[in-house]
Structure 1
Amino acid sequence: MSKEYFNKILEGDRGALKRALYKASTGYSDEDLKKPIIAIANTYTNANPGHASFNKISEDVKKGIIDAGGTVMEFGTIAPCDGIAEGNVRMRYILPSRDIIASSVECMTRAHSFDGLVLLGSCDKIVPGLLMAAARLNISSIFCNAGPMYPAHYDGKDWDGNIITEAIGWKQRGLIDEAEFKKIENLAEPCVGSCAMLGTANTMCSVAEALGMSLPGCATIPAIDKERDTIAYETGKAIVSLVKKGIKSRDIITKESIENAIRLIMGIGGSTNAIMHLQAIHYDAGLGVLPLQEFDRLSKATPQVASIYPASEYDMVDYHLAGGVPAVLKSLYPLLHTEVMTVTGKTLGENLASFSESKEEKVIRPLSSPFHEHGGIGVLSGNLSPLGSIVKPAAIPDHLKDVTLKAQVFESEDESIEEILAGNVEANTALVLRYEGPKGGPGMPEMYRPMKALEGMGLSSSCALITDGRFSGSNRGLFVGHISPEAYEGGLIALVENGDLIHIDINGSKIELLVSDEVIEERRKRWKRVEKTIYPGYLETYKRVTDSAAVGASVR
């Protein structure tokens, strides 16, 4: 048999059984199977608002693939919602799910030898999981998100889902009754889409676009806008073009494009979680370990040119109307590697030639007049975190950027919340939450609730929260996360005691435990690792094989 089939595993007599199986599954014809086989990794679920529209989006992608001369095959994978999982035990599964998503897409794609891959995802750990899969597979790949939801509107203001947290406080203080609380609950999340703030989900969708893995403008188109249907269709056409041109994911995901993505994160003041996700993508692209120091270097060399909720009153729709990712990249243009390839088949520079800088300077400013001289994420080092830790300088009040605070130690998130709400935390305290890292948690849950509890008790302007866990993209205040090495691995955070002094210098990039070496060595002799009771199953596996938060907290 001469070469009739684009996909080599379907060629000849040895491909006959495979062809027969495809014909039996959904009635593919010989003509269908001769075309490029494009898989859609569809993370649709009606259990997650950020993913509830992917069945519709998938249909638009399919039309684009078919019209461009491809054949569509589709499979699914998991897509848990961070907001629904929020809470200590449930949240432990969220970061580990990223690696399950990456591995499931890898397994299905390798087993079937698809020619091209469309990755449909929107939310916090799903987007990086899909991009990690693309980086591993090195086949023609493209990403498309569902888009952010519109904000809620209440009392003359736009809100994201965090209005619920505020409303709980209003209700407890007697400012609203049960009926008003229920009204707020029912309007807080007004439609499908990723949450209406620049949290991890929308940061990572912006990262995908900055990497060149999604079409220009894709990240910020609101979920229910007609434009979302159009870009899904164009995504389907684009993947067939990528396959025919032989442009693969590692032609796009390079050291240079990852540096562009880091600058984008710094330029928009994106979520701190994006750091570990880019580290994992970098590793899976065969580029080795991406050290935290590289993020620190680029943060200090990249002004923050965009200010989006929770850093300002302007939400994701405002970000989109101001020009979205292309407008930010246009502002950062002199700092970027513009020669890198993208899923359009053109370079980043060629793509940006058709865009102008934003005219909405309340949201996106030119490089010459940024919101902040340095990027939105910083890296601290010192004896308490020799491998590095993460802060968000723009979220920290100026009076807390160089402080020495007294430690109050907690072995878990739940313990800290109980003490905060009971009024047992004083001003000028450094709350140390440990055994919440990748291994100690396990799963490195977000310390969202303790920070919100500090806000609710009026302590966020006088206290710090230091942890080997993570933080939510919606947190504000002096928080230091990703402390590495973590407590479970014997990091110095495991030896901190109540009353110790901790010095935090944001501008100097330092975090130090002010205790003598002799005292530390004495404590280390007495140290016993805390082992938490967890559900049997995947968390046990993740705990055994995950690496440090300093290099991405991924399964390697």
Structure 2
Amino acid sequence: MKKKINNFSQKITKESNLPAAHAMLYATGLKELDFCKAQIGIVSNWYEGNPCNMHLYKLSEKIKSSVITKDLVGFQFSTIGVSDGITMGTSGMRYSLPSRELIADSIETVVDSHHYDGVIAIPGCDKNIPGVMIALLRLNRPSIIVYGGSISSGNYNGKKLDIISSFEALGKKNTFQISENEYKNIVKNSCPGPGACGGMYTANTMASALETMGMMLPYSSSSPSTSENKKIECKEVSKHIKNLLKKNIKPKDIVTKNSIKNGVKLAMCLGGSTNLVLHFLAIAKSANIDFSLKEFQKISNQVPLIGNLKPSGLFLMEDIHKYIGGMPVIIKYLLNEGILYGDCLTVTGKTLYENMKNIPNITFNQKIIHSLDKPIKKNSHIRILYGNLAPEGAIAKITGKEGTIFRGKARVFNSEKEANSAIINNEVLPGVVIVIRYVGPIGGPGMPEMLKPTSYIMGSGLGKKVALITDGRFSGGSHGFVVGHITPEAQSGGLISLVQNDDFIKIDTENNIITLEVKNEEIQKRRRIWIPPLLKVKKGYLYKYAKTVSSASEGCITD
């Protein structure tokens, strides 16, 4: 007897007392025979206003065409996104991290209310990927993620460009390293078309991690947005979603503690974004898996940094595709070396080990991926710091290029705007620890990314001469001696709220300690006169977010 795969949709299509529902389904174009078929929700984060997302509807159309050939019903719908690159350094960036929750809520709402049997999700920009992953775990029905793919590199005067080139160009222009004309040409040529930002920034970090975790088909994370491989993937995905339906393999069968470790290990080996920590804390919570900050530190001590990838390295995701052969080649290498668990289930219905059996072995006649015995850094660039400034934890991104220990006098700013102004006007001197506070999940609200100040620092040539700490977070494109996610945040009365100009701060990423060098009596004196500032918003989504969001050390979740 043929096994039913329309377990959810039949609650509408087979119920004789739902004539209005049936009438509306006929209106969508369904025929009577279609009422026996499984229904797949095909959700993309498509919108025209962002290169990371502007091509996703076309991918969604290709996927729907393929789904129909497998005797399934496909219903396309869209959810939101926020362009980090466009909103960076503006008040709009406050919506970036909160958009993750809206994405998850909206997908859960459509799929659960319409009783779709499975989901194919097509994310692009940074928060899209964890947003859809959280939703798929909540729904826990057969699902696959198809990554929109990375952007091609830009070019100016024979030099490869990407989005970070444009940010850092402003710092170079303002320190007279380049002309106004060069600056404009870099900006015009940094982003040549569709796809997510090209380095190992947050989108590519999360895509690489989720492919390793088993929620994407092999090659999904590294196939460029406009490549033939991406078109083939869109055609092939229907075969795999039907297989998942037949075998009733669900996200919680795939997302386990070991598969999460696989994703985190791969991302750390490649120099991934610090946002990895926030998002995997939230993903683990959605999967009901105990995974805390301490797990990240444990992994960080176990795996080396081997990816020579931007922002701290030289290469882009397109180079992994072109010169390495795709992400599975790297995954296979780490699997063969005992870094990854091979017995984890994936969306192919096979284990990670089975998926990798026929993948070519890596060769090291290239400079993109180093061998484990000759790493860029013997342990990961992501460090979890504790100390009086961050008793609940903070996240540092340290490749070692800027050193591993920094001690300096604090230069305090109560907003990113103030800090940007001081850096761009050359008012920040070498030896300083820049402190940007009241930009956490509640204080921001929304925990905006600090890519502008870090890019200005690097562009101004201060990368090895200053440090930056914040209760906000960093873009995957940030690099330098930076520490974010300081908890408790300033708005909640964390010690960062009591730092004053010229206080000494020491950041020790060898021993994972961050310390405000001020006597306890002085700290208590300051605390007695500290008054918590009013929330910056009093209504709307950001107000609701500020009232419900957890701390950065818990993943900034709202459920």
Match of 2:369 among 354, 357, 364: 364
The CA deviation at 1:181 is: 4.4
1:254-276: CA deviations, max 9, x gaps? 11110111101111110001110
What SS does structure 1 have at the residue aligned with 2:163?
coil
CA distance in 1, matches of 2:176, 2:405: 37
The corresponding residue for 1:119 is 121
For the structure 1 residues 5 and 187, does the alpha-carbon distance in structure 2 shift closer, same or farther, using more than 3 Å as the test?
A: closer
Is contact 2:175–2:460 with CA below 8 Å preserved after alignment?
A: no
Within the candidate set 369, 380, 388, 2:393 is matched to 388
In the alignment, is the contact (CA less than 8 A) between 2:56 and 2:124 conserved in 1? no
Equivalence for 1:313: 314
State the shift of 1:185 in Å: 3.2
* Aligned-pair CA distance for 1:5: 8.5
TM-aligned CA distance change 1:89 to 1:522, over 3 Å: same
Whether the 8 Å contact between 1:468 and 1:483 is mirrored in structure 2 is yes
- Amino acid in structure 2 at the alignment position of 1:397: E
The one of 457, 475, 479 equivalent to 1:476 is 479
Task: Output one character per residue of 1:218-258: Cα deviation in whole Å (capped at 9) or x when no partner.
Answer: 11111111111001111122112111110011111111110
Seen in structure 2, the aligned counterparts of structure 1 residues 169 and 506 have a Cα distance that, compared at 3 Å, is: closer
Q: Which residue of 2 aligns with 1:495?
A: 498
1:4/1:34 contact within 8 Å kept: no
Q: Deviations over 1:308-349 (max 9, x none)?
A: 122222111111221332122222211222111100000011
Letter in 1 for 2:239: K
- Distance of 1:482 and 1:429 partners within structure 2: 19
The residue number in structure 1 matching 2:243 is 241
Give the residue type in structure 2 aligned to 1:114: Y
Q: In structure 1, what is the equivalent of residue 522 of structure 2?
A: 519
Q: Does 1:130 align with 2:132?
A: yes
Secondary structure of residue in 1 paired with 2:476: coil
With over 3 angstroms needed to count, the CA separation of the structure-2 counterparts of 1:470 and 1:174, relative to structure 1, is closer
Answer yes or no: is the 8 Å Cα contact 1:40–1:118 preserved in 2: yes
1:298-447 matches, within 5 Å, as 298-321=299-322, 322-333=324-335, 334-360=338-364, 361-394=366-399, 396-398=401-403, 401-447=404-450
Q: 2:269 aligns with which of 267, 270, 276?
A: 267
- CA distance in 2 between counterparts of 1:507 and 1:145 reads 36
1:460 aligned onto 2:463: yes
Cα deviation per residue 1:286-312 (whole Å; 9 max; x = unaligned)? 224x21111000010011222212222
1:367 CA displacement? 2.8
* Counterpart contact for 1:122–1:205, Cα < 8 Å: no
What amino acid is aligned across from residue 421 of structure 2 in structure 1?
E
Whether the aligned pair in 2 keeps the contact of 1:5 and 1:11 (CA below 8 Å) is: no
Residue among 522, 541, 545 paired with 2:548: 545
Whole-angstrom CA distance in 2 between matches of 1:169 and 1:425: 13
Determine helix, strand or coil for the equivalent of 1:93.
Answer: helix
Please give the alpha-carbon distance, in whole angstroms, between the structure 2 residues aligned to 1:528 and 1:535.
18
Q: Which moved more, 1:160-169 or 1:328-337?
A: 160-169
Task: Name the aligned partner's letter for residue 556 of structure 2.
Answer: A
> How much does 1:451 deviate?
1.6
Give the TM-score normalised by the residue count of structure 1: 0.95
SS at match of 1:425: coil
Q: CA deviation at 1:187?
A: 2.0
Q: AA paired with 2:425?
A: A
Q: Distance in 1 between matches of 2:309 and 2:200?
A: 6
The alpha-carbon distance between structure 1 residues 477 and 175, as it changes in their structure 2 partners (threshold 3 A), is closer
RMSD in angstroms over aligned alpha carbons? 1.9
User: Is this contact kept in 1: 2:377–2:400, CA < 8 A?
Assistant: no
TM-superposed deviation, 1:279: 0.7
Q: Which of the residues 242, 255, 258 maps onto 2:257?
A: 255
SS in 2 for 1:192: coil
> For the residues of structure 1 that align with 2:533 and 2:91, how far apart are their CA atoms?
16
Q: Contact 1:407 / 1:429 at 8 angstroms: preserved in 2?
A: yes
Counterpart pick for 2:47 among 45, 51, 59: 45
In the alignment, which residue of structure 2 is the partner of 1:294?
295
SS in 2 for 1:483: coil
Residues 1:195 and 2:200 are matched in the alignment: no
1:106-143 Cα shifts (integer Å, max 9, x gaps): 11111011100000111100111001101111110100
Aligned counterparts of 1:4 and 1:172: Cα–Cα separation in 2: 65
Mapped partners of 1:99, 1:415: distance in 2: 29
The residue identity in structure 2 corresponding to 1:540 is Y
Kindly provide the amino acid, as one letter, of the partner of residue 232 in structure 1.
Answer: C
Q: Which moved more, 1:191-200 or 1:360-369?
A: 360-369
For residues 338-364 of structure 1, the C-alpha deviation after alignment (integer angstroms, 9 at most, x for no partner) is 111100000011011111332244112
For residue 354 of structure 2, what is the amino acid of its counterpart?
A: E
The answer to whether the 8 Å contact 2:148/2:225 transfers is yes
Map 1:136-151 onto structure 2 (within 5 A). 136-151=138-153
Identity %: 38
Q: Which residue of 1 aligns with 2:531?
A: 528
- Conserved in 1, the CA contact under 8 Å of 2:414 and 2:436? yes
The residue matched to 2:485 in structure 1 has which SS? strand
Q: Contact between 1:443 and 1:539, CA under 8 Å: does it hold in 2? A: yes
2: CA distance between counterparts of 1:545 and 1:344?
37
CA distance in 2, matches of 1:498, 1:87: 23
Are 2:99 and 1:94 equivalent residues in the alignment? no
Q: Which moved more, 1:232-241 or 1:341-350?
A: 232-241
Contact 1:209 1:215 in 2 (8 A): yes
Contact 1:267 1:328 in 2 (8 A): no
Structure 1: stretches of 5+ with no match in the other structure: none
3-state SS in 2 of match to 1:405: strand
2:58 aligned with 1:75, yes or no? no
Q: Is the 8 A contact 2:5 2:117 kept in 1?
A: no
Deviation (angstroms), 1:179: 5.2
